[in-house]
Structure 1
């Protein structure tokens, strides 16, 4: 249910491939994603996407019964993505919800197809967001808008997400191709040069 395609130029494309369940995530899927992210130090760039028309509906409802909502694997995944030295791009093929937002926030850039929605209903469902998510969200869109999503439960459409800076580019067709184009300069550079510039962007 997780597909990894490694390209000769150093690009890794990771696909959440469970479209019949809106790419909802089980613990096993999250562990596989985290393992890939931890192994991706050798990747020059990594693109994260989903199969079908939804990036991910978040946590699998059956898995939720076993405490997945508060499992440390979410933080392990987002931390591994955030720590990669190469370019990381979330290519949103559709709506992203709940805990799946954490991996999207941990990427360097976010590309989305028109019509994508973003929502994180932690207030409604009685869970805390994963520890790093609120800070990353606030860094992108500001504290008040982060509260709109996390506390007011707002569902953000793609136009609003683009205006707020939650996504960086909106496309009409294949977001993976758009993500790959954004990675072109990084793929052409030496890994050390790319890592140095990325580190400088962190401040």
Structure 2
């Protein structure tokens, strides 16, 4: 349910459970963690999904059984935040719930025009993952973060771009091509230059 394509130093990780809106199970989260933690030889790490939804968040059955509060979510976002290369969330569709954390931890987010963004933890009776509110607030500000996390608002792609939640809107057929275009200079650079620029930013 997780696909990994290695194109030299470009690693493309795809959520591949489109029949369930790429909802995430504990096994999928564990595999994602292991991939990111082993990605030291990659210079660019891309997260994307199959189908028309990036991820609906936690698999509902597993969420009820405890996945909603699993430390795996935080382990994954922490690993992504610590990645020394460039991480890109190429959002092929809607991003919801706990899956927001992995996108927030990436260096940049590209989204298709049909994408929507929501994180209905308050309605479901859970706290968000520990680092997610701070990362979201750093991107879009405290009030807009409360709009999403407390107001339960569903944000469309154009609004997400205006807020700063995503960095660019790209047509579906051009999403991976544009991602590779952004990656090109990083793939050609020395690792110490890549990590050095990230530290300076």
Common fold, TM-score beyond 0.5? yes
Q: Report the TM-score, using the length of structure 2 for normalisation.
A: 0.98
- The offset of 1:93, in angstroms, is 0.2
Task: Report which stretch shifted further, 59-68 or 99-108.
Answer: 59-68
CA contact (8 A) 1:88 1:108 kept: yes
Point out where structure 2 has 5 or more consecutive residues left out of the alignment.
none
Residue in 2 that maps onto 1:99 = 98
CA contact (8 A) 1:104 1:110 kept: yes
2:200 pairs with 1:200 = yes
- The offset of 1:180, in angstroms, is 1.6
Q: For residues 98-119 of structure 1, give each alpha carbon's deviation from its aligned partner in whole angstroms, at most 9, with x where no partner exists.
A: 0000000000000000010000
Residue in 1 that maps onto 2:116 = 117
- The offset of 1:161, in angstroms, is 0.2
- The offset of 1:146, in angstroms, is 0.3
Point out where structure 1 has 5 or more consecutive residues left out of the alignment.
none
Inter-partner Cα distance in structure 1 for 2:163 and 2:191: 31
Q: Report the TM-score, using the length of structure 1 for normalisation.
A: 0.97
Query: Hey, which bits of structure 1, 4+ residues long, moved more than 6 A?
Result: none
Q: For residues 31-83 of structure 1, give each alpha carbon's deviation from its aligned partner in whole angstroms, at most 9, with x where no partner exists.
A: 00011010112101000000000000000011112200000000000000000
SS at match of 2:5: strand
SS at match of 1:147: helix
- The offset of 1:176, in angstroms, is 2.1
CA RMSD in angstroms comes to: 0.7
Alignment map for 1:1-203 (pairs within 5 Å): 1-8=1-8, 10-173=9-172, 174-201=174-201
Inter-partner Cα distance in structure 2 for 1:147 and 1:177: 34
CA contact (8 A) 1:111 1:178 kept: no
Inter-partner Cα distance in structure 2 for 1:27 and 1:180: 30
